[in-house]
Amino acid sequence: LAHIHKEPYVWHATAAATTIIEERGPPTKQELGQCGWTLLHTMAANYPEDPTGKQRARAESFLRALGDLYPCPTCAAHLRGYMAEHPVTSASRQQLSMWLCGAHNDVNVRNGKEAFYCDLGVLDARWKDCGCGNKTKTSAS
């Protein structure tokens, strides 16, 4: 156990980071939502075509955890309600992407916004290439 650090890790803010935080403040509800949807759609777009049972369980567990841990209690409750009515489908990349698009559209409609066109090609064009070097071939390619 000699490799375990006994001191807790402490983040040391640089002057530049501290200035940005002081000027900017925490994210707004809208910024948090936009960043969250970007993360979720990008994850779904890069999800395996034929995921293992472990990958499926982890994807579903991640979304359930998000419903419990999301910083906006109202949004978290809406996600839990959506998942109760529409169980996560994660048997393929297309299924997860379409499920997530439906969840996102549920939020859009509730907020008086236009629903997004749920088409795998459209979703991939927007979120598949995140610049992370994962140029995997898909059945839609």
**pLDDT classification of 6: cutoffs 50, 70, 90:** low
| Per-residue pLDDT at 23 exceeds 90 | no
Percent of the chain with pLDDT over 70: 79
Residue with tokens 């807790």: 8
What is the reported pLDDT for 18? 64
CA distance 12 to 53: 40
Task: Calculate mean pLDDT across residues 26-55.
Answer: 96
What is the reported pLDDT for 5? 47
Give this prediction's pTM: 0.78
What is the reported pLDDT for 24? 75
What is the reported pLDDT for 138? 46
Task: Calculate mean pLDDT across residues 46-61.
Answer: 98
Cα distances (angstroms) measured from residue 12 to each of 8, 9, 22, 44, 69: 12, 9, 15, 34, 26
